[in-house]
Structure 1
């Protein structure tokens, strides 16, 4: 096989090869900072991003930010046992799949346990957002209300790619 007569063709192929290798190495070695990438499963990672989102969107000053993180940490401490209980209740609910004689009353009882935990969780979350709203200045309240609507949309099922989503706009 003869090498091509035109040196520029060899140079062009070499440049393309180097560019492709560089591009692939960037994708392979860069640590993703988006959902689904490494670190996504770390406990608290999602909550920290939501917390930082609130701070950034509302443009809290340093005093407000300190108060916000204190409120958030307090809320998380209250939420954790409730979420653990809900997880256990859901596990017991779906464990009924292994029981051939599972009755409607058993399903109702177990689903009621889940509902009780969900109500507690929603109440804790509501009270938290009430406290956060209370630390906002009057000029931040409209933005707070918009951000809360978006957060509620993200917390509810069937929220994929809503056109009105501020989280989807970057």
Structure 2
């Protein structure tokens, strides 16, 4: 009789641990920020449940996108640093600041245009069901995340 109680207790403990693990995994999967607060390419691919052909095309699109935007994002960081260093002067020239801001906003615009094109290309890979998931889940999650320090290729 004593062994039956021990086995029953162990089964209850195992079931509780499984329930806790599933709860944590569900929370990580469905939380708005997800893991590390970013909508990673892996998460997009997993959320859309791409088949093998779509996954291959997604890899090509993803690699091309990051090859284009990493240099742009790096130049944005450099331009911001230069601008901040420039305004440390006692009398910075407003015209120079304006010129630097125009260059910076041009790079930011270029980055956003490439990102928009990237998401359009991903959506074009999707079938009708995946487009619904893309529109209702991926884009909504992406809207909620803040600016990235580093892309997550």
TM-score by length of 1: 0.61
Q: Which residue of the partner structure matches residue 152 of structure 1?
A: 143
CA distance in 2, matches of 1:111, 1:149: 30
Alpha-carbon distance in 1 for matches of 2:96, 2:80: 13
Aligned position for 2:95? 105
Per-residue CA deviations over 1:82-125 (Å, capped at 9, x if unaligned) read: 11211111111101232111132222221111100001001111
Separation in structure 1 between the aligned mates of residue 122 and residue 116 of structure 2, nearest angstrom = 10
Aligned residues: 113
1:88 equivalent in structure 2? 78
Q: Match of 2:104?
A: 114
2:48 is aligned to 58
- The reply on whether 1:131 has 2:116 as its aligned counterpart is no
The residue aligned with 1:29 is none
Greater C-alpha radius of gyration: 1
- Structure 2: any 5+ residue segments left out of the alignment? 1-34, 149-153
Q: Given the two structures, how large is their TM-score scaled by the length of structure 2?
A: 0.67
Off by >6 Å, runs of 4+ in structure 1: none
Q: Identify unmatched segments of 5+ residues in structure 1.
A: 1-33, 37-45, 158-170
Separation in 1, partners of 2:68, 2:107:
12
Aligned residue in 2 for 1:31: none
Q: Which moved more, 1:83-92 or 1:121-130?
A: 83-92
